[in-house]
Amino acid sequence: MQKAQQAIMGHKGDKTTDLAQDTKEISAKDRLTTDYGVKQASADDWLKVVGQDKTGPMLLEDPFGRERIHRFDHERIPERVVHARGSGAFGKFRVYESAEDVTFAPVLTDTSRETPVFVRFSTVLGSRGSADTVRDVRGFAVKFYTQEGNWDLVGNDIPVFFIQDAIKFPDVIHAGKPEPHNEVPQAQSAHNNFWDFQFNHTEATHMFMWAMSDRGIPRSYRMMQGFGVNTFTLINAKGERHFVKFIWTPELGVHSLVWDEALKLAGEDPDFHRKDLWEAIENGVYPKWKFGIQVIPEADEHKFDFDILDATKVWPEDLIPTRYIGELELNRNPDEFFTQTEQIAFCTSHVVPGIGFSDDPLLQGRNFSYFDTQLSRLGINWQELPINRPVCPVMNFNRDGAMRHTITKGTVNYWPNRFDACPPASHQEGGYVEYAEKVAGIKARARSDKFKEHFKQAQLFWNSMSPIEKNHIINALSFELDHCEDPVVYGRMVQRLADIDLGLAQTVAEMVGGEAPKQAGRPNHGLRAKALSQFEFPPMKMSIASRRIAILIADGYDPVAFSAAYGAISAGLAIPLVIGTKRSKIVAADGTTSIQPHHHLEGFRSVMVDALFIPGGEKSIATLSKSGRAQHWIREAFGHLKAIGATGEGVDFVHNTIALPRVTVSASGDVHESYGVVTLRQISPSSFTEAVQIAKGAKGFLEKFFYAIAQHRNFDRELDGLHSMVAF
């Protein structure tokens, strides 16, 4: 098993091997013991005074009982203040193009190396018990276990942030967290304090537009971009310095939920994202991201109309293109959530030689804050925990403290010493040497002039959105501000939106009851930029892999269509989920074939899948047609823009349920597609092929259906207003 794990982990399984010494697996051969190793004869009864007919007091002398309760009472560690709810996985990273022109860090230059990683995804505002699908920023933190030490790239799924200077971090988080008088609301920004802060703190304008976009409700962790957010530096072997931003782009494309779907999932499946990540890895559909860098030579730092050290600004791709040089793959789920996913701790200050820091004032504060946070949460020896410790040698004169693991032999614990033991490393030996940056200025609580412009990039983002995305931003702002009871708050925010776009402000004002502005707060410059719209990041390969596809059936279903679809879905590495009118076995129309569904219609809902297929079968469809819940499944999936496939008698069921004249269906043996609804009325043995080639313009039923699924959503339904004509 260990060899198999090493085969999928990077760097010859170094981190897997390292963790193995602390990994135990419980089996029937084991016997229950105390933490100090003594076998326990009972785990059911505390030592007590007892007679045949009377139970007396328990005895404090019972060490087994006291240890069990003591350990239980102290199982919890302080929850993270932000990013409390998370999920993670192990994987590997490699570069396929050396970046030695800008850095000498082997993790970014050695194309023969595979570096083991652990990645933790998270929401920001909610507690550990909150839901996965709330509108929020998502954390995207990567710990690289390099041969030169740990490198922590701690970022988000959005490339900018609400604040420019770290001193404002307590304010933005306090404003976003539940309001202090009643601890409401949990895990969302739709309340007075959050939006009051957004208005009064204009540098947050760009970021709240990103948060209100579809980026705030991703379909999956596996379908998010990741950004380092801050400006770091790279130093090459010549001693030349470049400024850099780090970017992750998923191979599956960048996709999101729709808002109604996100709301329902928060109640129906609050663990949706963490289950999705686990399920994909467990099924061997390993998530992958391309790793990119945006690089600016030190000499060009001041050549832009924005400050490149300002974390509320993007580096537009048309000015500084992304250079993709590597790949990240997640391929192993954790063995235990607490000791790995919960105890992993990141620090932006953890970099390796060849990578450094800029004067980004948000980054400078993060470098202090993250280390301080881990001390509070895990204790002074947090870096000795198995998930956090490096795979390279660690040796220094740090000593003692709570929960110290390392036992250091020898007679000295200081430098210099008479044995010349453990001296500092030279630069040639791999010692980290800070870049000799020349610094000049006055000591003041101030910012440079470029930091004072807060609206141009918010306009750039809005202008770069597709019509669909603009509509979603309008809806998001309308929802959020509708939850603000204070007219001062939503009235002011409507005026702020006029600083971005007058039409946006007027539309939102009408929805939320604010006074509609008569003129723009400032003119919109009309400029657009690449790589801001999610529509510019389609899947790198048309595929249904890892998509969840529900097959709705009742007794009397068509076994031919069912089996063909089920087999093809599985062969495409997607996940077929059979949904029945009951969870007991359901018998096919031939009377001999049967299947036990994964779920029944009331125990599972359409928001938990990516597409629906309804095979024919006269009796099956007659039963489903009488089920309001089955009809709701179809209408809800249609309203959420998902692909729907139907064959045989299922065609009329789907057509009658949607009941929109513009959505047409197959009339014969020809496959028909209309707004992502793919139908085939008359099937034959040749209707389904074993090998399904997903391509635009394909003629077969499964080819057309799978192509519709691979598109993620049918946005034409929304553009033409059809999705809002169906009650769901």
Vertex 375, ends 183 and 384: CA angle to 5°? 130
Q: Is 245 helix (H, G, I), strand (E, B) or coil?
A: strand
Rounded Cα gap, residues 638 and 676, in angstroms: 9
What are the CA-CA distances from residue 18 to residues 6, 9, 15, 106 (Å)?
A: 11, 12, 5, 21
Vertex 594, ends 592 and 600: CA angle to 5°? 150
- Are 479 and 259 a contacting pair, CB within 8 Å? yes
**Among 313, 546, 253, 553, which residue's Cα sits nearest to residue 448?**
313
Asked if 472 is an active-site residue, the reply is no
Rounded Cα gap, residues 327 and 290, in angstroms: 5
First and final C-alpha spacing in the chain = 48
Choosing from 150, 156, 331, 367, which is the catalytic residue? 156
Rounded Cα gap, residues 112 and 94, in angstroms: 8
- Are 291 and 325 a contacting pair, CB within 8 Å? yes
Report whether 370 belongs to an annotated binding site. yes
Rounded Cα gap, residues 588 and 561, in angstroms: 11
What are the CA-CA distances from residue 47 to residues 35, 36, 56, 74, 570 (Å)?
A: 18, 18, 10, 22, 55
- Are 276 and 222 a contacting pair, CB within 8 Å? yes
**Among 675, 625, 682, which residue's Cα sits nearest to residue 654?**
625
**Among 610, 615, 620, which residue's Cα sits nearest to residue 701?**
615
Q: Which two tokens stand for residue 518?
A: 């008569």
Rounded Cα gap, residues 24 and 5, in angstroms: 15
Choosing from 83, 191, 255, 640, which is the catalytic residue? 83
**Among 644, 639, 611, which residue's Cα sits nearest to residue 718?**
639
- β-pairing, 48-51 vs 54-58, is antiparallel
What are the CA-CA distances from residue 616 to residues 392, 554, 574, 583 (Å)?
A: 60, 10, 21, 19
Rounded Cα gap, residues 374 and 381, in angstroms: 9
Instruction: Report the greatest alpha carbon distance in the chain.
Output: 92
**Among 570, 543, 480, 658, which residue's Cα sits nearest to residue 255?**
543
Hey, CA dihedral for 593, 595, 601, 606, is it positive or negative? Answer: negative
Rounded Cα gap, residues 615 and 590, in angstroms: 14
Rounded Cα gap, residues 542 and 544, in angstroms: 7
What are the CA-CA distances from residue 660 to residues 468, 632, 645, 715 (Å)?
A: 21, 15, 16, 16
Asked if 83 is an active-site residue, the reply is yes
What are the CA-CA distances from residue 673 to residues 38, 648, 676 (Å)?
A: 68, 15, 6
> Which residues make up each annotated binding site for heme?
370
Q: Give me the active site residues, please.
A: 83, 156
> Which residues make up each annotated binding site?
370
